[in-house]
Structure 1
Amino acid sequence: MKRSALAGLFITAAMLASPVFAAGEPDLCKINLDKINNGQALLATDTSGKKGEIDTAVSQAKAAHAAGDDKKCIEITSKALQDLQNTEKGGNQ
């Protein structure tokens, strides 16, 4: 009896937590866009062409977000953040 009650509690907790993660995705998209906007100041003197790539990524991410495709927005912004970090480190990948 104790095992089934414990299993039931675990399943209930897992089911209740699932919507929380789904609801957090749009926030991650917005957070990533804010981080990119803050990091673009570093690209003011960039001559490698990364600024244009980042600008394009931001436009695509905003379009995906507006279309309700937050997964795509997060994917695009995550890559753009990685590119920004590589630029900060001096890498041109």
Structure 2
Amino acid sequence: MKRSALSGLLICATLTTSHAFASSEGDLCARNLQTLTSELANATKLDAATQSDATSKLQQAKSAYDAKNDRECVALTQQALQSVQSHKNSQ
């Protein structure tokens, strides 16, 4: 009996943790999308290649977000934000 109770608690804890992590990824994705959109709207000195790459990644990230693929969305937005920031810092 103790084993089944312990197993049940372990399963509940695992499911709760993974759900909380997924929720935070969705939040991070949404924040990154907003930040990237703002950065691109306010970026006046980005070169054409960086602007094009970041815009492309933004569109891909929005598609991933709509498809509930939060990990891909976060990865794409972070890549684009790093690219924009590194370009801004190099000027």
After TM superposition, the score normalised by the length of structure 1 is 0.72
Deviation at 1:17, TM superposition (A): 3.9
1:85 alignment counterpart? 85
- Partners of 1:88 and 1:45 lie apart in 2 by 8
- 1:27 is aligned to 27
- TM-aligned CA deviation for residue 38 of structure 1: 1.7
Does the CA-based 8 Å contact 1:29-1:73 persist in structure 2? yes
Identity %: 29
Structure 1 residues 47-86: aligned runs within 5 Å: 47-86=47-86
1:8-47 correspondence runs (5 A): 15=14, 16-47=16-47
Alignment length (residue pairs): 84
- In the TM superposition, residue 49 of structure 1 has moved relative to its aligned partner by 1.6
CA deviations on 1:11-69 (whole Å, 9 max, x unpaired) are: 69x54444222211111101001111121145323234211111000000001111111
After the TM superposition, list the runs of 4 or more consecutive aligned residues in structure 1 that deviate by more than 6 angstroms: none
Paired with 2:31 and 2:56, the residues of 1 have a C-alpha distance of 18
Task: Classify the secondary structure of the residue corresponding to 2:47.
Answer: coil
Contact 2:33–2:58, Cα closer than 8 Å, also in 1: yes
The letter of the residue matching 2:28 is: L
Residues 61 and 76 of structure 2 are in contact (CA less than 8 Å); yes or no, is this contact kept in structure 1?
A: yes
Corresponding position of 2:5: none
User: Normalized against structure 2, the TM-score is what?
Assistant: 0.74
